[in-house]
Amino acid sequence: MKFHIITYGCQMNKSDSERIAGLLRELGWEEASGAETADLIILNTCSVRQSAENRVFGEVNNLVELKKTNPRLVVAITGCMPGRDKNNQMRKKLPGADLFFPIIDVIHLPEMLQALGVVLPQKNLPQDYLDFAPQYTNNFQAFIPIQTGCNNFCTYCVVPYSRGRERNRSVKSIVEEVKKLAEKGYLEITLLGQTINNYQAPDPENFSSLNPFKNHFAALLWELNQIEGIKWIHYTAADPQYMSDEVIATLILPKQVNYLHLPVQAGSNAVLAKMNRKYTRENYLEIITKIKKTRPGIALGTDIIVGFPGETAEDFTQTADLFRQADFDISYNAKYSPRSGTPAFKMADDVLLEEKERRWWVLQNLMEEIVLRKNQIFSNQEIEVLVEKCNNGLCSGHNNEMKFVQLNGDETLVGKIVKMKVDEAGMWVLRGKLVI
């Protein structure tokens, strides 16, 4: 039996797919070369925008055609769409799907398949899907989920509905997974969570007695920094309200990358309040000041939504002003998209699409101006690069500031941290030559 997974959305979804693949391999399945040769196709879905859901509806219609040539084909849908489908309206639109379940229920996938007549071996599996042994995408970097779900209920966000309330993985299981990766030669890990810096260990007794931190997330970072072999530790996404002094202090731990992603969403207190974001612009800028004082030169990333219901021209001006003051290296800007089931869905979507587009471009142009200026710091400098892929003598990867890098080289460099001399510091890429 062969499986094929189609993943939509964020890094958490990609990590979930790695764990689903690990589960299926444990059950004796093999990965198919594509959907056409698979006996089980799983769509791991995203609900952040309507366009993401529309892609799934279209894909399922295409997959139904494959059942004509392979009658035993099972089409399963998991991820965020089933998680937030509380009234079965989405399920009714997907008659071609044999299985439809939220990601938390993937632990019951073997029973679901058996109910459809698929014969499977008996296995003792973990009771939490986060503890499945994943099939990692490569052999030098890995996603490590430490938390799923969210308790914050930002008015625009579907996560508390699609993924449920916040659940935190044990310190013991996280540390064990990272130690195994280090033994296999992995160099970089990315910790994942919806409000990751609010991590609350269910087993704090497993923190070392030498650990200097009281905050559980800070303490976890300290534990992971002690693991030999791991070189770079990255995490996403932090929430400003949980960016305590102890968490900020961990930015100088030796393995932490020189980058922090800290979503702000808006620079106007009025809009932040309507979003149910539990901080003010003043709080956010104070945190940024502390971060830069603790680790000068750190690269900063953020998320911003433009055109949120009721956002005035003055509100947006305040967002652009905050952007300049924070001096972000990168911002993932989104035009507000109403999501059914969220409190914001009941608000009037009163900012015209053309105005959302204009505001998006204001921030895009501002970001391009800032990042081009900041990247000049790397000109003629030697930097470390984790090489991720090579093709026809050109390699690419990222540096410690999570900036995209290109350099000369061959496949022997993939999965290694090498030194590169920067010859060209462009807006979105640092180019240079390998330092031998």
Maximum C-alpha span of the chain = 63
Write down the pTM of the prediction: 0.93
**CB-based contacts of 242, cutoff 8 Å, min separation 6:** 195, 197, 198, 217
Residue 65: predicted pLDDT: 87
302 neighbors 263 (Cβ within 8 angstroms): yes
pLDDT (0 to 100) of residue 432:
97
pLDDT of residue 61: 87
261-290 pLDDT, tens digit per residue, is 999 999 999 999 999 999 999 999 999 999
**Residues facing 49 on adjacent strands:** none
Q: How many CB atoms lie within 10 A of CB 379?
A: 12
Show me where the domains of the chain are located: 2-129, 136-256, 258-377, 379-434
CATH code of the region 2-129: 3.40.50.12160
Q: Is the pLDDT score of 52 beyond 90?
A: no
90 vs 257, which has greater pLDDT?
257
136-256 CATH pick, 3.30.750.210, 3.40.50.300, 3.20.20.70, 2.40.50.140: 3.30.750.210
What sign for the dihedral angle of Cα 78, 79, 85, 91? negative
Summarize pLDDT for 123-133 with one digit per residue, the tens: 888 888 888 88
pLDDT on residue 212: 98
**294-330: per-residue pLDDT in tens?**
999 999 999 999 999 999 999 999 999 999 999 999 9
- pLDDT for 101-112, tens place per residue? 999 999 999 999
Residue 117: per-residue pLDDT: 92
Distance of alpha carbon 195 from alpha carbon 269, whole angstroms: 20
pLDDT at 49: 79
- Does the fold of domain 258-377 match that of domain 136-256? yes
| Confidence grade of residue 179 (pLDDT, cut at 50, 70, 90) | very high
CATH number of the structural domain 379-434? 2.40.50.140
Q: What's the topology of domain 258-377?
A: Transcription Regulator spoIIAA (3.30.750)
Residue 363: its H or E element = helix 353-375
**Strand pairing report for 188-192 and 232-236:** parallel
When pLDDT is averaged across residues 378-396 and rounded to a whole number, the result is: 97
Segment 232-252, tens digit of pLDDT: 999 999 999 999 999 999 999
Average pLDDT of the chain? Answer: 95
Q: What is the pLDDT of residue 47?
A: 86
